[in-house]
Structure 1
Amino acid sequence: MKILILKRDKLGDMLLTTPMFALLRQHFPGARIDVLANTYNAWVIDGNTDVSRVWSYQRVKEGGRIHWRAAFAQLRQTLALRAEEYDWIIVANGDASHRAIKRAAWLGGCNLVSYTDAKNSHRKVNHPLEIPRQIHEARRMANLLTPLGISLPEVLPPLRFQLPAEAQTFANQWLAEQGLTPGSYITLGLGARRAKKQPTTEQIIRWTRHFHEAWGLKTVFMWTPGKSDNPMYPGDDETAQPVLDAKLPWLVPFRGPLKPALGLIFNGRTSLFPDSGLMHFAAASPGGVLGFFAETDVSPAPAQWGPVGPRARWLEAPKAVSQLEDASVFAELESLLK
């Protein structure tokens, strides 16, 4: 059997799809299980033994520019994928996506599985599924396997992620330069684009002081580099600056790219992150994560996007993370430190 899974989403979304890959491999151990992803998210499944091959493509339009070489490369890749004559093609989106469905329809295949709705479908989708609204994103992905005769277990397989070697190498060097050792710090990040999901400067000062005085742990404080008005990748430099201005002796700042950040997260004792891709990666790390959500009547809720795994916790605030009691944060973290 030959199966192709189309996954075009963000990094955290790709990570939440790994339980789906594991279920496929468990039920069809001899199958060829390929993934079609873009160059932005494909590296997330490097080394994943549940996947036979990753086909990656560059986005044609990035930063408002059209890359014609990428367009011609995608055309050649589409022809190559059609020649594979897949038995099943699965559009791995948690919602119905016209673009993803259309791309999958170009690839041929005997069976095409996708979530669809009144505005997003295609005549070649011969296994349309209704979008399940009340389940977690990882379970939404796994639910796409039901047309293949796979019944979902009560507990999904764990997230699978292999820390890139360069991320570990960076962590080893950076920690040594900062006088830190693995497990001697907590990672606290500002990885959310909405202020209501982020702890305030005052909370960060109080929390990190407690980490140091009560548990003897320093804090590696990280944030997304850049200005908040960047239309492509909004950053948190302005939000982080007041924390840096406090010059806390127990706080070690890190302003850098994603993979080095992952190296630090995976070597820390545990982590705190707002709802974000980094939160999901931290959930897959040995130390786990405490995630923050706020105003979930209008923003994504933990029922769909909460961190998953044996060492994943989350807290939800009515309107903003600033409303969370310190005691509740410390109690959840203490359970992760045991």
Structure 2
Amino acid sequence: MEYEVKRFLLCGALMLSTIMLLTGCGDSRQQIDINGQTMGTYYSVKLIKQDGLPSPEAIKKEIDKRLELVNDQMSTYRPDSELSQFNQLQSTQPFEVSAATAKVISEALRISKLSNGAYDVTVGPLVNLWSFGPEARPESTPTDQEITTRKAEIGYQHLSVTDGNKLVKDLPDLYVDLSSIAKGYGVDVVADYLKDDLHVKDFMVDVGGEVRLQGKNRSDVPWRIAIEKPIANERAVQDIIQAGDMAIATSGDYRNYFEEDGVRYSHLINPQTGKPIANHVVSVTVIAPSCMTADAYATTFSVMGEEESLALANKEKLPVMLIVKTKDGFVEFKSDTFEQYVVKK
């Protein structure tokens, strides 16, 4: 669904002095930092030490194990993952998967229906058609006929979850890619382990820029996250948000696009047109209880554009901020429930 780099500037990660002041990074409580690699990116876990916790090494081992399981279930890079096996299946017969994979696909289909197909985890063949390579551009722009042919091979309406944890596709060649939602689900897996199994009161989980928060930081104030300003050649802060016990996901193409003959091509493909998105949305931030949901919505709103996005966000009471590039500079568009999370400068 999307292959752009998602970034937050995080307290304790990419640290600017102004962010340190705003986030209150101090040392009044002891913070445990656990870092690793997963899903082709980094993960970072920060938790406040409390009595009864296992050693950091034991916690990391358990986190790695759980994230490996998500990869075994949903990675398209592992030929024997559940999802890869389903994609390789040239049949319309039900295919049984884990409850986790069924849950993620069910949520993806829910958002696809709400967005009238702006979000679609079967869009992979169109992404491949545009074939953004090492130079971040296709060798040639696909023809309208090629796009029409590929569009006939995709469609969330051809995918369903039935009889508990069984996947069904009515197009034998249908290909499902969960890269726009599985990373967020991985964040939830780690957060739920800390919250439900270890009863950690204060933590921040970050997987490749998708974040879930609970409690307070080491200065005993709620975690604060700095949203990056959508400028390609420098690092700067757009807004500081304090989301409480919520998840945050961001999506943006301001570092992942190319221009040809004066036309700007994004790496996000609109499933409805079969072409890179043509709106001027450069960054989307979504706050939701689950990172899985926030992750998928961030892609959805990048595709939909500001007017449709705000209409859906307000209907669903989702806190969303879009940054749109105009001839006069960048303009923020916020849903009705977003402003309450912004820290006043």
Higher helix share: 1
Q: TM-score, normalised by structure 1?
A: 0.31
| Pair member with larger Rg | 1
More strand by share: 2
